[in-house]
Amino acid sequence: MAIKNKEDLLFKSIDEISQLYRSKVVSPVEVLEATLELQRELEPRLNAFITVMSEAALNKAREAEKAFVKGEAAGKLVGVPVSIKDIFMTKGIRTTIGSRILQDFVPEGDSHIYEALQKAGAIVFGKTNMLEFAYGSVHPDYGQCNNPWDVTRTAGGSSSGSASSVAAGIGFASIGTDTGGSIRLPSSFCGIVGLKPTTGQVSSSGLFPLSHSFDHIGPMTRTVRDNAIVLESISSKPGNFESIFTGSIKGTKIGVIRSLIDSLTHHEVEEIINSAINRLSDLGAEIIEIEIPEISNVKEFAFPILLSEASYYHQKWYPDRSADYANGTLMNIKEGFNISAVSYLDAIQKKREFTEKVNSAFEGMDFLVCPTSPSPATKRDPSFEDTEYDFTERTLPFNVSGHPAITVSAGQTPSGNLPVGLQFLGRHNDEASIYNAADVFQSASGGYKHPSFTQLNHK
C-alpha cells in the first residue's frame, strides 16, 4: 500500500492505518507527528481545538510503536490518533466545556469515553472546540469553529471541532455528543459519518450533561466502517460490528419519512436527498413512503424537557455568573428556570407516547431514512432563534425517541460544493442494520470525499 504524501496518509481508513502499522510501512509516531503538523497548519483557519496534548500523545505513540515492533499490538485502534469533544472529563487535563466558567477546570477523574479509548490503545491527542456547554451558542472566548469545505462557513454544532477536524484529516475519529442533533448536524455540514447510538449504548459517566433525557455519545469518522470500529471500543454493550457488513441492501424495506423531505425549502438539498433515495432503490431496496404522527410537533414537548434539565445543571452558577455566559446560552438557561414541574412531567409523558409512534413506524420496515439537515453549512452557527431553517426538525425527534441514527454524506451542492447529509434510522439497539445500509450507500456513492489541502490553504 503506497504512501504518496501526507494527505494520502491522513485520509486512510482506520483499517488501512492498522494494516500499515502491522506491516511496518509507517509507525504510530510518524502518523501522529503528521497529524499534529496538520493541526498546527490548519488551526488558524479551522479553530477546531481547545486543548492539544502533544507530548502525552507522542509518549503514547512511542509505546504503540514498540508494541508493533514486538508484534504485541492487537486492537484496530492501537496507535490511531483520535480526538474527543471538550465536554468529557480527563484527569489532570483541562476540560472547559467551551465555557468561560470552566476555562481553568481540571478534573480529578476520567470519563468512560477517555478510559475506553485509552484501553483500546487509541492516541487521544486533542480536545475539540464546541458550543458552550453543548447548548445554543459558541462562547466568544473560543470562537466559531469553521468548516474545511469552506472556512467562511461554520462546522455546525455543538460537536463543532470534532466534525471539522475529522473532515480535514486531523485524526481518524472523534467522539461527540448529541442532544438534539449535535453529532449529526456538524457531521452533515462537514460531510462525515456521525452516529447517535441508541439511548444508553455508550456510558455517559464523566460527561457534563446538557439534558440527561436526550444526551447521547457517539463516534464521528470518515467512513461507516471506521465508525463501527470506534463504537465497538466505546460501547457499554458488547458487540462485534465487523461481522454485520454484508455489502448489500437488496430486498430490504426502507421507510422514507416523506414529510421531512417535503418540508425542505433548500432546493439543492431536496434534489440531493431524492437522488439518494433513488440510489437506494437502484441498490435493490423497496422504498415505502411513511409518516410519523406528531413528528413536526416534537419541539412542543421536547423543549420543556431539554431546557429545564439543562438549567438544573447550572444552578451553582446562575444567576451569579450570568455575565460569563454567551448571550444565547444565558437566554436558554433563564428559560429553563421558568418551566413548571407540571409542564415537565406532561412533556415526559408525551415523550413516551411519541417513542411508541416511532416504534410503530418501523412495523414492516428494516430501517427509515430522512434528510439530516434542512440546508448545507451556514455562515454562522445555527441557533434556537434562527428563523430561516429549523435545524433540529429532522434530528431532535430521535433524541426524544432514543432510536439510533447515523448520517452519511449524500452528495455536494452544485452551487457551493457543500456536503448534504442523509440520515438512516434504526430500531432500538439495532445499530447493525443502519451501519450496513449506510456502508452500502457510502460505497455506492464513491466512498468518503474530502476537502483538498490546497482548498484549505487558499481560503
Using CA atoms, how far residue 286 sits from 16, 259, 425, in Å, is 33, 18, 16
Among residues 182, 211, 311, 375, the one annotated as catalytic is: 182
Q: Is 182 a catalytic residue?
A: yes
Spell out the alpha helix ranges (H) of 120-167: 160-167
Q: Is 54 a catalytic residue?
A: no
Using CA atoms, how far residue 278 sits from 73, 198, 254, 288, 412, in Å, is 43, 27, 12, 12, 16
- Residue 66 CB-density burial (10 A; 0-12 exposed, 13-18 middle, 19+ buried): middle
Give Cα 75 to chain centroid, integer Å.
23
Using CA atoms, how far residue 291 sits from 123, 356, 452, in Å, is 43, 14, 39
Query: Which residues pair with residue 124 across a beta bridge?
Result: 82
Among residues 27, 83, 137, 158, the one annotated as catalytic is: 158
Cis peptide before 205 (omega within 30 of 0): no
Number of H helices, E strands in the chain: 16, 13
Q: Is 159 a catalytic residue?
A: no
C-alpha cell at position 429: 439497539
Query: Which residues pair with residue 195 across a beta bridge?
Result: 406
Helix (H) or strand (E) holding 419: strand 419-425
**Cα distance between residue 2 and residue 41, in whole Å:** 24
Nearest one of 435, 21, 371, 447 to 227, comparing CA atoms:
435
Among residues 60, 85, 127, 351, the one annotated as catalytic is: 85
**Cα distance between residue 410 and residue 392, in whole Å:** 18
Three-state DSSP class for residue 385: coil
Task: Indicate which residues carry an active-site annotation.
Answer: 85, 158, 182
